[in-house]
Amino acid sequence: MRFLARLFGRADTEHVARPDHVQQDAVNDETEENRATADDPIRFAEFIREGVLTLRNPDIDLELCPSEEDCERLKITPEQREACRREFVLMRGLGACMFVGRNLSPVYYQSFKREVCAALAQIQYGVPTEARVEEVSSAIDRYVEELGNETATGFSLTYLERVYSGNPHIEALFLATVFLPAFKLAMTSFEAARHGFCILKSGTTFEVLEALHGEEDKQQDESGVDE
């Protein structure tokens, strides 16, 4: 997705070089308010809080947790099931942070992450104390680092350590891939943040931008012109 950094400017989101086709077909209806939201990490974090982090039905996360049968079979305690539910909340923030961290400037990312972590702590615990926010921030950093590796093993082990610490059946939990719902949730949230940012910034979807970029690269290759 390096072309997103080229389109939106990894170092500076204020100056945007959009493809002509996007300007003609999509950006005409784009409002300054939307662009201002995308350009401001705090406002974009609020956008993510409302659209990605906050669930209309909090029970959705409980439905993703291990079933009562699985809890009995794998000796999962009620406390560990609750920790699982809280980690699903964190996964939504993780996906959004991954998108911003990979595509926007470090300064933008740090401001965005700070706001997102405060929102996550509030959703998870009700009161976003400084200690809670720091714990969430550290967890995000650790997950992001692990997801930068070639395999998801590090992510899986980190998840098991955080959620099922003290469980005598860690190996069985790993083999049962209890971490998969969390991983999928993080990836879904990554895509949601990407979609939201592209709509706000360019007035069109990531898929359209990707197709346009691919067509431009093809034309450049055929003409032999370098960027």
Mean pLDDT by 10 residues, the chain (227 residues): 49 41 49 91 96 84 90 94 94 96 96 97 90 96 92 93 93 93 95 94 87 62 51
55 dihedral zone (left: phi>0; alpha: psi -120 to 50; beta): beta
Tell me the one-letter amino acid at 104: L
Q: Residue 118: which residues within 8 A CB-CB, separation 6 or more?
A: 128, 133
Tokens in use for 51?
């659209």
CA pair distance 54, 77, nearest whole angstrom: 26
Q: In the prediction, which pLDDT does 216 show? A: 56
Q: In the prediction, which pLDDT does 223 show? A: 52
CA pair distance 72, 88, nearest whole angstrom: 21
Span between the terminal Cα atoms of the chain, in Å = 16
